[in-house]
Amino acid sequence: MTRSRPYLVRAIHEWILDNEMTPHLLVDIEGEGVEVPAQQGQNGKIVLNISPQAVEGLMLGNDAIGFRARFGGISTDVYVPLDSVLAIYAKENGRGMVFNEDDSEPEPEDSGGGRPGKRPALKIVK
């Protein structure tokens, strides 16, 4: 199966906008491939406003997030691999989702539930 993080980021972004709030990303600026103005960050992290009023050409892809924004009056291209996204939340109330820094998708188990040669057992619960 594909990774769930890109789908969750897109869904929460849309949910925040539908509720007329401001979506923000918390990003690990030390992650591989991250292109953000590092001088704007603190403690290896940066908060990015990704509302339609703040960015141009927002692309929420399966591997990365990209857009163009102004930092200190300078137009800058921003590129954030999804592994470096630590959270997406609404600025106004903090509601959203936090991801683990070392978040990795679990490997799927085999259809036998990890027990070769045995069928999965189902129980009726009343």
Position 111 pLDDT exceeds 70: no
- Give dist(CA 33, CA 83) in Å, integer: 10
pTM of the model: 0.78
- Tell me the per-residue pLDDT of 64-83, one tens digit each, with 9 for 90 and over: 999 999 998 999 999 999 99
> Residues 6 or more apart from 45 whose CB is under 8 A from it?
26, 27, 28, 29, 86
- Give dist(CA 63, CA 39) in Å, integer: 24
- Give dist(CA 5, CA 92) in Å, integer: 23
CB atoms within 10 A of CB 102: 6
- Tell me the per-residue pLDDT of 75-106, one tens digit each, with 9 for 90 and over: 999 999 999 999 999 999 999 999 986 555 54
Q: Which structural domains are found in the chain, ordered by start?
A: 5-97 (2.30.30.220)
Q: Which helix (H) or strand (E) holds 64?
A: strand 64-71
